[in-house]
Amino acid sequence: VITLYARETENGGSVTDLLRYSKGTVLYREGDPARFWYEIVSGMVRTCRFHADGHRQLTGFFYADDVFGVEHGRHSETAEAVTAVVIRRHPHDELITASTMDGTPSQQVLERALESARQCIFLLGHRTAANRVAAFLVAIAERIGAGEGVQLPMTRTDIADHLGLTIHTVSRTISDLARRGLIALNGPQKVRILDMRGLQSLAGEEAAVTYDSGTEALIASPGTEAIDRLKARPRP
Amino acid sequence: VITLYARETENGGSVTDLLRYSKGTVLYREGDPARFWYEIVSGMVRTCRFHADGHRQLTGFFYADDVFGVEHGRHSETAEAVTAVVIRRHPHDELITASTMDGTPSQQVLERALESARQCIFLLGHRTAANRVAAFLVAIAERIGAGEGVQLPMTRTDIADHLGLTIHTVSRTISDLARRGLIALNGPQKVRILDMRGLQSLAGEEAAVTYDSGTEALIASPGTEAIDRLKARPRP
DNA sequence: CGCACTCTTGAGGGAGCTCAACATTTGTGG
DNA sequence: CCACAAATGTTGAGCTCCCTCAAGAGTGCG
């Protein structure tokens, strides 16, 4: 079920709609022409791709103020409403203009999408189930604010498909984290983080390397294999 | 070792350098200020992040004409030369302008980076080692052209850190693919694909869903939980 | 109140990791 | 150019973690 709340016309004439989708609604499918990109006002959206064997890879969860569906040509992912959700739907052309309605440069929208993809890679890069689940919980807590309990509106199946695990392993791991006193459960969707430090160390927050790679030697010398390519593409 | 080949000045005054890095050189590190973005002329570059337990997540291999290091503020990844490499180094400001030197919109650069990240997620999303390695080989063959043997300039360790496996499993799996007649090995770095169709089915090329999600019901009706957020952010 | 859906938990097996040894390739200095 | 050393790659054996199969418990909705 989709509801139109409001339609707004930009100076340029592009039309931005404010829409409400009910839980479970598909916003767009993999392969659909990417006519719009989306910004969440409230609720949660998931994006996913399907592998040939039928299994689903969830590529991201998106919260209020997050942006998704930023793609050129066709959507490479499917987007669905995890909860009832209100979104602001922007025509894709709008990206071409210098800035979005907030005055932020259009690139920031893409960079946020890129950051989201990197977050997903980071999660999947963890070795064990405990690592991944802990990293997932930490990421959500940091995103939403861990203050007095984290809501997990998505199902265990969603989490499993996001982390590359089975629903069973996710459930077992979460139970185990609770048993070890790192979190407390108040129903499956309501998690309270008791030991953030412990969770973070389990999550393996990346080692912060913050120094500059520094000096470069700028020495003019003859090249080797790349000269041909070089000549093939002369520059002004 | 870094060598400067040429320095080119754009109309806008920004300076693009053509540089050669020898094998193994670090181009930039995680946390470095992102002053440049890079375009490969020849050779191969890898990007990676490190987890707290010391293990490395390789987030991408980049070939000629690929773009990497496109980030806002600081680099979130480390970039290293897999082989000797010649790159064109662009000041980050250049992104702000409407187009790069090729006349392509700056967004395409970001979108290519995003596509690269999605490719990485897709690889990590595969269930078994055979799936991942097959998908990896197929991706490289498609990228480079499978014509008469695929070169794998990266080490087994690189592949393992990219696919979330160990070097042992990667080696075993590649040997196994050869034993099953899907590929032929001519030294560790030189692979010839014998049965592309078989590899692709192992890789689990994503199910192509290509229909449009179609009609939307646009019904004006009162909202629920999002009204507050709505009012909190009035639009022109 | 009962059905459907989600979540939890247990038992058993298999894929991939660890540990270990050996083979091959690459790089270096005589 | 060869000899040797170092790095990289291959392969085996055993074990661990997660997946599979299975059953039961909790929750929400008509």
**Each residue of B20-75: pLDDT tens digit?**
999 999 999 999 999 999 999 999 999 999 998 889 999 999 999 999 998 888 99
Note which residues in 69-108 of chain A have CB less than 8 A from chain B. 70-72, 76-78, 84, 86, 95-96, 101, 105-108
Establish whether the CB of A202 is closer than 7 Å to any nucleic acid atom in strand D.
no
pLDDT tens-digit readout, A208-222: 433 333 333 332 223
The pLDDT, as a whole number, for residue A148 is 72
Confidence of residue A131 (pLDDT cuts 50, 70, 90): very high
**Secondary structure class of A169 (helix, strand, coil):** helix
Round and report the angstrom distance from CA (A223) to C1' (D10): 35
Compute the average pLDDT of residues A7-33: 87
The pLDDT, as a whole number, for residue B25 is 92
Positions 199-228 in B, CB within 7 angstroms of strand D: none
What average pLDDT is seen over chain B?
A: 81
CA distance A52 to B203: 9
pLDDT at B209 over 80: no
> Out of B1-15, B133-147, B179-193, which region has the weakest mean confidence (pLDDT)?
B1-15
Confidence of residue A198 (pLDDT cuts 50, 70, 90): very high
C-alpha distances (whole Å) from A56 to each of A2, A9, A221, B14 are: 24, 37, 51, 44
pLDDT at B1 over 80: no
Compute the average pLDDT of residues A162-181: 97
pLDDT tens-digit readout, B128-171: 999 999 999 999 999 887 667 888 999 999 999 999 999 999 99
The pTM assigned to this predicted structure is 0.84
Query: Hey, is the C-beta of B30 within 8 angstroms of any chain A C-beta?
Result: yes
pLDDT at A188 over 50: yes
Query: Hey, is the C-beta of B169 within 8 angstroms of any chain A C-beta?
Result: no
The pLDDT, as a whole number, for residue B143 is 87
Chain C nucleotides with an atom closer than 7 Å to a protein C-beta? 6-11, 15-20, 24-26
Distance of residue B185 Cα from the nearest chain A Cα, in angstroms: 25
Distance of residue A106 Cα from the nearest chain B Cα, in angstroms: 8
pLDDT at B233 over 90: no
Percent with pLDDT over 90 in chain B: 58
Who contacts A102 (Cβ-Cβ below 8 Å, separation ≥6)? none
Higher pLDDT, B18 or A227: B18
Establish whether the CB of A59 is closer than 7 Å to any nucleic acid atom in strand D.
no
CA distance B3 to B25: 11
Residues with CB under 7 A from strand C: A 155-157, 167-168, 170-172, 174-175, 185, 188-189; B 127-130, 164-166, 168-169, 173, 187-189
The pLDDT, as a whole number, for residue A216 is 34
Closest CB to B42 among A32, A33, A229 = A229
Environment class of A109 (CB within 10 Å of its CB; exposed 0-12, middle 13-18, buried 19+): buried
Higher pLDDT, B113 or A184: A184
The pLDDT, as a whole number, for residue B4 is 85
The pLDDT, as a whole number, for residue A69 is 92
Percent with pLDDT over 70 in chain A: 78
Note which residues in 191-230 of chain B have CB less than 8 A from chain A. 201, 204-213, 216-221, 223-226, 229-230
Compute the average pLDDT of residues A178-201: 93
CA distance B111 to B121: 15
Do B122 and A49 count as a contact with CB atoms less than 8 A apart?
Answer: yes
Round and report the angstrom distance from CA (B80) to C1' (C3): 58
Confidence of residue A53 (pLDDT cuts 50, 70, 90): confident
Residue of A110, A128, A202, A227 to mutate, testing the B interface (most B Cβ within 10 Å of its Cβ): A110
Do A121 and B121 count as a contact with CB atoms less than 8 A apart?
Answer: yes
CA distance A171 to A156: 7
The pLDDT, as a whole number, for residue A5 is 82
Residue of chain B with shortest Cα separation from A101: B235
